[in-house]
Copies of this chain bind each other. A is one copy, B any other.
Amino acid sequence: MVELDDRKLKILQAIIQNYLETGEPVGSRTISKYTDLNLSSATIRNEMSDLEDMGYIIQPHTSAGRIPTDKGYRLYVDLLLLDKNKEVENMKSILIEKADRLESLLEQVAKLLAVNTNYATMVTTPQYKKKVKFIQLTEIDDKQLLAVIVFEGNIVKNKVIKVTRSLSKETVLKLNIVLNTFLQGLDLAEINLPVITQMKEQAGEDYVTLVNDILDAIMQAVSGDDDFKVYTSGATNILKYPELSDVEKASELIYTLEEKKMLSDLIHNKMDDEETRGIQVYIGDETPIETMKDCSVVTATYEIEEGVYGKVGIIGPKRMDYERVVVTLKNLMVELDDIFKNKT
């Protein structure tokens, strides 16, 4: 049995498109008039009945129209990805102005996307390579040192370290040299016990605690948690879609967006999976986040430079305008690429 003939496909598409617009179950008569197929509602009904059997659409209750199932959406999305290149967004100009710092740039991206799409959005900070470029210790005053750690990709971390006794200029210089000799070019995994003990030896017994503190600081700067951020925007857009806006669901959803940790699941889970590099569409249950089972999520990956990735995601109702969202994201990725290339 050939799963879907051309006519069924056209009908399915019409159903989905109509449903995307209205959010209401769509009936046979609507389709009969809506399409250029010139079929009576009765015929459509027969076809719809077939489509329901195949699991692409469903009736929310007897004597209601049909709405697409997750499977239906999935087919629609898969068939859709031959993009008609829509009007180019003019985000770019706005973005560049604000692009003085990566973080505020990303925040802006989230905001702009939310405003433009009318969905909720999220943007993660990039997962950068955690390779130490250099370390610089400076005295702030008698009791405090400032450790500046620069990682590959010019990500800079600061940490104030308390010391019990004042250190001489020479000591600080020496420590700087030791730290850099040992740690430069290493990533987190390579800073292992042998390196550490050797380094401590070099530094001299008196400074073991200090070296420990500095290593702690590096660890802290590096351990993703502290530093992996998720910006969200447009949470309230969710309330615009009746199927999500009852207090129960909306509450859960907005909470998930607020409690950003959960969102990182969506990304971390599959971060290294080659497949998820492009544009990824999760429909309903397909998302790894339980509370979003009534939504769809579209994610895209941006790349700041080789090996430094972040994600952009759009969260909306299952009947989100996939075409527009996918195209918008694709354009955005191109623009971000431009920005990062011209910047670095």
Contacts and interface: CB of A to CB of B under 8 A. Distances in A.
Contact of A220 (B100, B138, B255): B100
A133 B140 CA distance: 8
B220 A236 contact: no
Contacts of A234: 258
A296 interface: no
A191 B239 CA distance: 48
A289 to B, nearest CB: 16
Nearest to A242: B247
A26 B62 CA distance: 44
In the complex, the count of this chain's copies comes to 2
A88 to B, nearest CB: 27
Contact of A233 (B146, B250, B251, B258): B258
A136 interface: yes
A150 interface: yes
B154 A148 contact: no
Contacts of A258: 232-236
Contact of A226 (B104, B250, B251): B104
Nearest to A252: B236
A156 B146 contact: yes
Contact of A239 (B134, B160, B250): B250
A254 interface: yes
Interface in A228-247: 232-236, 239, 245, 247
Contacts of A140: 133-134, 150, 154
